[in-house]
Chain A
Amino acid sequence: NAGVTQTPKFQVLKTGQSMTLQCAQDMNHNSMYWYRQDPGMGLRLIYYSASEGTTDKGEVPNGYNVSRLNKREFSLRLESAAPSQTSVYFCASGISQGALQPQHFGDGTRLSIL
């Protein structure tokens, strides 16, 4: 049981390049989330999907797009990478019926934009 799996684990991009970060969960969770983690800023929500077929902006959505491909998969796309998007990106999943249940996190993707 892998839980939440993110690919790739590391990536270096040049400014202006595009990239898609992949996330898959095998826990049959209906909600999925993308966060970025920056020193001194904690985790900030980029986008989330409360259920298959829906996506919503979080705190810092600019420069990103997401796709909830099916119940298992939720991808994050950078269309034109900028140095300010250098960060560690975490995907998470959870159950969102009634009270919010704890989220399960992936290992993270360390992304550097040169």
Chain B
Amino acid sequence: AQRVTQPEKLLSVFKGAPVELKCNYSYSGSPELFWYVQYSRQRLQLLLRHISRESIKGFTADLNKGETSFHLKKPFAQEEDSAMYYCALSGGAQKLVFGQGTRLTINP
């Protein structure tokens, strides 16, 4: 079975502090992992995917197959990063399994 766990429903950090949103997955094969973000009053949109190995808006995420994790990190949080973040997994089928989401709040 495919499962994605985001252990933190809420995360609050101060502006300029580092941010790490945790994501753990359960899947026996080679997963494709994504982070989606939903800003206030906006559509859910792709933030980044692991196969791209790119940094978007200062965020990076590394797939750790040993720990089955895909944590999202940013060294210096900005107020505009406040949003709902979802980790998602595709395990071969043409569909995604989403985690429960983490609401990130950046305090000034």
Using a CB–CB cutoff of 8 Å, the interface residues on chain A facing chain B are: 31, 33, 35, 40-45, 48, 50, 58-59, 90, 92, 94, 96, 99-100, 102-103, 105-108
Contacts and interface: CB of A to CB of B under 8 A. Distances in A.
Interface residues of B, number: 21
A40 B100 contact: yes
Interface in B59-108: 86, 90, 94-101
A70 B6 CA distance: 36
B45 interface: yes
A43 B44 CA distance: 11
B49 A44 contact: no
B101 A42 contact: yes
Contact of B95 (A42, A58, A90): A58
B43 A42 contact: no
A50 B94 contact: yes
B9 interface: yes
Given A40-B9, A43-B86, A106 B32 contact: no
Nearest to B101: A42
Given A102-B46, A102-B49, A105-B45, A45 B95 contact: yes
A42 B86 contact: yes
